[in-house]
Chains A and B, each alone.
Chain A
Amino acid sequence: MKRYLNLYLHFLRFSFSKAMEFRLDFTFRIVMDILYYAVNIMFFKVIFLHTPLVAGWTQEQMMIFVSCYLLVDAIGMTVFSSNMWWLPHHINKGELDYHLIRPVSPLFFLSLKEFSANSFMNLIIASGIMTYALSTYSQTFSIWEVVLLIALILNGTLIYYCCQMLMILPVFWTQSSKGFMDLFFSMGIAMERPDKIYKGWLRVVFTILLPFALIASFPARLFIEKFHWPTFLHLMSVTIGLWMVMLFVWKKGLRVYSSASS
């Protein structure tokens, strides 16, 4: 465990020293990111001009939810996105080879080695938005509820990662260039809507099969409405199930990996 932590510190060091070299890119990214956050917040602000409640939530409650998914997105962007971008490429070009021979989990290596130091600002802005949403929230809450909220957001990030991996891993069989990444990004919007809007079979899809609604909406709901065991257990069991399915597909994929020759 300590070893993996040390390795991750190396990854961080590498990516920061790399990022410093490209200053223009750095500033450009920050402008883009601020725009992205502004658009997301505006979207809900506009809706609340017309109605006092959306999916049972008031505007300040909605802000908490929005800050949840922005934080998940920011963590995903910084920690995983570069790695996910390159993974299909590595698989197709046979560049998994050197990762498979190391006495370290190749999944760990391939998922985390490229830390996007460039997107680090996202993390700061998103945390800022969350702090703002919590500080202007009119209901009382304890520090433990905040701790739980953050833990569940990290759990949401894990779900986000697993969903994305499940869209990428078919590359082992299809040898296509991106897997179903486009599908992932278009469906990813499902995480940016409160789960209450999904009814019937759509609810089954988004809370169990491809649990986008569990990423940010469930954590926000457990915070806003009072803690609810069934919701919490649902969240945990789907996370564990999803993680195991992802590992299973990964192992199957490695079996058919044919390592395009040099």
Chain B
Amino acid sequence: MIQVKHLRKTFTSHVKEPGLKGSFKSLFSREVRTKDALKSVNLEINPGEIIGLIGANGAGKTTLIKILSGIVHPSSGEATVMGYVPWERSNEYRRQMALIMGQKNQVWWDLPALDSFLLLKEIYQIPQAQYKYNIEFLAETLMIKDQLKTQVRKLSLGERMKVELMAALLHNPKVIFLDEPTIGLDISAQKAVRVFLRQYQTEFKPITILTSHYMEDIKELCPRVVIIKEGQFVYDGSLSNIQSMMGDEKVLSVTTQDKTFKVSIPRHELSSKTHQIFEENDVLDLNIQDPSIEDVIESIMRNGVRPT
């Protein structure tokens, strides 16, 4: 169970003009700029639930995850994860939590993955039987058995991500934060990671928060999504409902002699707009569709939620 109430986080930074002159000036007077990474957000996640957190770069996804995993202190507000306040960093909480960041490594770079796993076994005090079972289960479902004795730096990006996933899940966490676990992976590796995550979710039922820029990840794994824009949640609900939020819109894909473009049009203007397009262009092909989830989410991220 995760409960978040009025959580805020503000970062401050100096503004420096470019160049040496700017550096010199900033020695004496500094303009301080504050940025609200999170503006009073509320969230509730039930046991066993997996949610997708979507938003543009800098929208506050990672900040939320870092607060909930106890790395960063919030500026104000409350949050509890299974009854623990994350930033108090109690060992009981940390023993049940896992964080995976697609862009930061946790396994020892110069050593085979199995060495890092042994260290983690010690850190989390994983009993031998559980350790053996997990290595077996994880390596098998991720199909990475043969690479565990190779120095991690010699692995490919996809293999490394799999190793990271293994490392993070060895201790059977009850809460998992996944920050872009598929970033930079090729299609088949992405797919493997997704299949694995779903299998893991069915087998162990942890609470999971997943962020990703790949809509495929979200579509396959998360029945519920939260869309975050400039530090605020603009949508929190089921993925399937998202489409109906733009129920009165249609998307026209038009191909002419020299270009292809898409326009979204309110349903009642459909015939007049289509007519206009035919008049203004030499149309080769025209297609009328419901907006795709990607389109809707993009539009929400751009314009916020529209009343239906």
Using a CB–CB cutoff of 8 Å, the interface residues on chain A facing chain B are 3, 6-7, 10, 14, 17-18, 94-98, 100-104, 255, 257-259, 261-262
Total A-B contacts with CB atoms under 8 angstroms apart: 64
Contacts of B98 in A (CB 8 A): 101
In the bound assembly, the distance between CA atoms of A261 and B179 in angstroms comes to 11
Known: A258-B11, A259-B72. A14 touches B122 (CB 8 A): no
Mask, B68-89, CB within 8 Å of A = 1, is 0111110000000000000001
Interface residues of B in 115-136 (CB under 8 A from A): 115, 118-119, 122-125
Which 7 A-B residue pairings sit nearest by Cβ, starting from the closest? A262-B103, A103-B94, A103-B91, A98-B106, A103-B95, A10-B119, A100-B71
B209 at the interface (CB under 8 A from A): no
- In the complex, what residues of A have CB within 8 A of residue B110's CB? 18
Known: A7-B119, A97-B66, A262-B103. A103 touches B124 (CB 8 A): yes
Would A97 and B99 count as touching, CB distance under 8 A? Answer: yes
Known: A255-B73, A257-B72. A103 touches B123 (CB 8 A): yes
Bound-complex Cα distance A240 to B109 (A): 36
Give the docked Cα–Cα distance between A14 and B115 (Å). 8
Are B123 and A262 interface neighbours, CB within 8 A? no
Instruction: Say whether B111 faces chain A, with CB atoms less than 8 Å apart.
Output: yes
B275 interface residue (CB < 8 Å to A): no
Shortest CB-to-CB span from B254 to chain A, Å, is: 39
**Whole-angstrom CA separation of A116 from B161 in the bound complex:** 29
User: Which residues of the partner chain B approach A101 to less than 8 Å between Cβ atoms?
Assistant: 69-71, 94, 97-99
* Contacting residues, chain A, for B118 (C-beta < 8 A): 10
Contact between B122 and A10, CB atoms less than 8 A apart: yes
Chain A residue, CB-CB nearest to B57? A261
CB B175 to nearest CB in A, in angstroms, measures 11
Q: Compute how far the CA of A95 lies from the CA of B63 in the bound complex, rounded to whole angstroms.
A: 15
Residue B158 at the chain A interface, CB threshold 8 Å: no
Given contacts A18-B111, A97-B99, A98-B104, 11 further A-B contacts (CB under 8 A): A7-B123, A10-B119, A95-B104, A97-B104, A98-B99, A101-B97, A102-B123, A102-B124, A103-B91, A103-B123, A259-B72
User: Quick check: A259 and B124 within 8 Å, CB to CB?
Assistant: no
Closest to A94 in B: B104
Chain A contacts for B200, CB-based, 8 A: none
CB closest residue in chain B, given A96: B71
Pairs A–B under 8 Å by Cβ, sample size 19: A3-B125, A7-B123, A10-B118, A14-B115, A14-B119, A96-B71, A97-B66, A100-B89, A102-B94, A102-B123, A102-B124, A103-B94, A103-B95, A104-B123, A258-B11, A258-B72, A262-B104, A262-B179, A262-B180
**B291 touches A (CB below 8 Å):** no
Interface residues on B, range: 20 to 34
| In the complex, B108 has a CB within 8 A of chain A | yes
Report chain B residues within 8 Å CB of A96: 71
- Is the pair A14, B111 in contact by a Cβ cutoff of 8 Å? yes
CB distance from A107 to the nearest CB of B (A): 12
Contact of B122 (CB < 8 Å), options: A3, A94, A100, A255: A3
Q: What is the chain B residue whose CB lies nearest that of A255? A: B73
Interface flags, B167-181, vs A, CB<8A=1, else 0: 000000000000110
What chain A residues lie within 8 Å of B104 (beta carbons)? 94-95, 97-98, 262
* B212 contacts chain A at the CB level, 8 A cutoff: no
Tell me the nearest residue of chain B to A93, going by C-beta: B104
Which of B73, B102, B122, B124 is the one whose CB lies under 8 Å from A262?
Answer: B102
Is the C-beta of B62 less than 8 angstroms from some C-beta in chain A? yes
Any A CB within 8 A of the CB of B101? yes
Identify the closest chain A residue to B62 (Cβ).
A261
Most interface-central of A7, A259, A261 (chain B CB within 10 A): A261
Closest to B125 in A: A3
A100 CA to B106 CA in the complex, in Å? 12
With a cutoff of 8 Å between Cβ atoms, the chain A residues found around residue B69 in the complex are: 101
8 Å CB contact of B101 from A3, A10, A17, A262: A262
* Alpha-carbon distance A97/B67, docked complex (angstroms): 11
Closest-by-CB residue of A relative to B69 is A101
CB distance from A84 to the nearest CB of B (A): 19
Residues of B within 8 A of A97 (CB): 66, 71, 99, 101, 104
- Give Cα distance in the complex from A103 to B170, angstroms: 14
A259 near B95 (CB under 8 angstroms)? no
| Contact status A7-B115, CB under 8 Å | no
Cβ of A7 and Cβ of B70 under 8 Å apart? no
- Give every chain B residue within 8 A of A7 (Cβ-Cβ): 119, 122-123
Nearest to A4 among chain B residues (CB) is B122
In whole Å, how far is B152's beta carbon from the nearest beta carbon of chain A? 12
CB neighbours of A261 from chain B (8 A): 62-63
Tell which of B91, B102, B119 has the most Cβ of chain A within 10 Å.
B119
Per-residue interface assignment for chain B, residues 124 to 162, with 1 indicating a CB less than 8 Å from any chain A CB and 0 otherwise: 110000000000000000000000000000000000000
- A7→B120 CA distance, assembly (Å): 9
For A262, the chain B residues whose CB sits under 8 A away are 62, 101-104, 179-180
Write the chain A residue with the least CB distance to B61.
A261
